[in-house]
């Protein structure tokens, strides 16, 4: 049985292992260099919003975090959500449980809007996951990223939390 907990610095290696292949082998993130475990540890220490991991028998299967949507003070009640699962962990309900818990904890912490920025990679998986968790389409930013010799759009999805 998997568990969902707040990320700790001890989870940094597992988070690194989950995210790095998405950076190097896909277009679903606009990162081009995988963050190191030390960089993840710093992000865990400095977090202002929930940062969760899903684990099974001590193995990190995925993570979800919220970060400020924009730095200007009037945006302080809006968060951007991020979720990644190890490929072997997909299709088993972990993503939905993780995203639902992230949204709940963000609302409990005072956020009023959750915004997902999803790279339009051609796969509907992330959009479908967010729709199932109550997010609705909010817009498309066309050709805003260039990675692996492709121009990419991002889909904006939004969910009211309170």
Confidence of residue 162 (pLDDT cuts 50, 70, 90): confident
pTM of this structure: 0.96
d(Cα 79, Cα 94) in Å, to the nearest integer? 21
Domain extents for the chain?
Answer: 3-160
Q: What CATH number is given for 3-160 in this structure?
A: 3.40.630.30
Instruction: Estimate the crossing angle of helix 12-25 against helix 37-46, to 10 degrees.
Output: 120
Confidence of residue 100 (pLDDT cuts 50, 70, 90): very high
Q: Please say if the pLDDT value at position 84 is more than 90.
A: yes
Q: Please say if the pLDDT value at position 151 is more than 90.
A: yes
Q: Please say if the pLDDT value at position 1 is more than 90.
A: no
Mean per-residue pLDDT for 52-60? 97
């Amino acid at each position: 049985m998997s568990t969902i907990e707040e990320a700790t610095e001890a989870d940094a290696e597992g988070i690194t292992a989950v995210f790095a292949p998405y950076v190097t082998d896909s277009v679903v993130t606009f990162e081009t260099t995988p963050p190191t475990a030390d960089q993840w540890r710093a992000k865990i220490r400095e977090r202002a919003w929930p940062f969760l991991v899903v684990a099974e028998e001590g193995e990190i299967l995925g993570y979800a975090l919220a970060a400020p949507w924009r730095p200007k003070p009037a945006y302080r009640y809006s968060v951007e959500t991020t979720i990644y699962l190890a490929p072997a962990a997909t299709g088993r309900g972990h993503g939905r449980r993780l995203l639902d818990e992230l949204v709940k904890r963000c609302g409990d912490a005072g956020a009023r809007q959750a915004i997902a920025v999803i790279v339009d990679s051609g796969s509907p998986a992330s959009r479908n996951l967010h729709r199932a968790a109550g997010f609705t389409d909010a817009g498309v930013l066309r050709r805003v990223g260039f990675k692996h010799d492709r121009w990419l759009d991002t889909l904006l999805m939004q969910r009211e939390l309170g």
